[in-house]
Amino acid sequence: MTRMKYREALNAALREEMERDPLVFIIGEGIGKRGGSFKVTENLLAQFGEDRVIETPLSEASFIGLGGGAAIAGTRPVVEMLFVDFMYLTMDQVANQIAKYNFMTGGQVKVPVVIRTQGGIGNGLAGQHSQSLEAIFYHIPGLQVVMPSTPYDAKGLLKTAIRDDNPVIFIEHKQLYLTEGEVPEEDYLIPFGQAEIKRPGKDVTILTYSFMTLECLKAAEILKEQGVDAEVIDLRTLVPLDEECILKSVKKTGHLVVVHEAWKRGGVGGDIISTVIEKAFYSLEAPARRIAGKNTTVPFNKNLEKLCVPSVADIVNGVIEVING
């Protein structure tokens, strides 16, 4: 095992897959000499050259379309979108072309493109650079949605994404890039649709993903001091969703809390709770709870920014309310 930062794990995944398969190449804004704004593509230009590390102009719809077309033509592009907020500019390409092409050709044409992007709050980047938009992509058939929380998961899931024959929206969180963790030195993959129990427990199920996984684990330790044994499950992939793991945990604990940074209204948490109600309603001993971002534009001020998303205290208080019925 090697200890590395989240961004280093992503870099290693890209490097290893580009070494393994000459059809893999990366494109995006500032990914070459700069190594990307978050340093995920650092040193890749020197190793692979300009033919496989391709700088793009500030024209998001065009290079997302390029990535989709290149995938249809038989290569395996990894497109970096600097902020998930900019994906709004590409939605015709993503939703009407990339996501549907395999279906509309009767399965004859694969679209193995990975769109790497990042979202969430952090560093006071304001409303147009701090959003959590995973629910949009979660809603669109044909897209897989991946949101890793640790360096180990980031590397294993990105390698899986690059080898997958279907389009993947791979969303990183800006507050995770400098976090550290253990990563195997040997090659490994993490299958899509397999959630991970980050902390076993018997009293309540906390479902979460991305940066909120770290916050939920902190909350679980505080809850332990208050006599509540929380099971924290990191979904890792939203599409496909590991319903089996979710339902098994809920049937064990009888209580469910879903935590995500994205806006509560129309969020992934509501859909997950609906699934549990449809398939395991009688296992619930109390109403399920969503702990999510406030339905507001993220402000520039850092103190106000923090108030827009769940805190550790919010998670603890929400779980206690669910436990107490």
Q: Which helix (H) or strand (E) holds 5?
A: strand 2-5
DSSP-derived secondary structure for 256-319: EEEEEEEESTT-HHHHHHHHHHHHHGGG-SS--EEEEE-SSPPPSSHHHHHHTS--HHHHHHHH
Place of tokens 């599409």: 239
Dihedral pair phi/psi, residue 219, rounded to 5°: -65, -40
Q: Return the DSSP state at 53.
A: E
Strand-pair category, 76-81 with 230-234:
unpaired
Residue at 94: amino acid letter:
V
Helix, strand, coil shares of the chain, percent, nearest 5, are: 40, 20, 40
Residue 41's SS3 state is: coil
Print the SS3 string covering 68-137.
Answer: HHHHHCCCEEEEEECCHHHHHHHHHHHHHHHCCHHHHCCCCCCCCCEEEEEECCCCCCCCCCCCCCHHHH
What sign results for the dihedral spanned by CA atoms 201, 318, 248, 150? negative
* Nearest of 171, 173, 167 to residue 67 by alpha carbon: 167
Residue at 225: amino acid letter:
E
Tokens of residue 241, six digits: 């969703």
Catalytic residue among 129, 173, 255, 260: 129
Q: Is 255 a catalytic residue?
A: no
Q: Which residues are catalytic?
A: 129
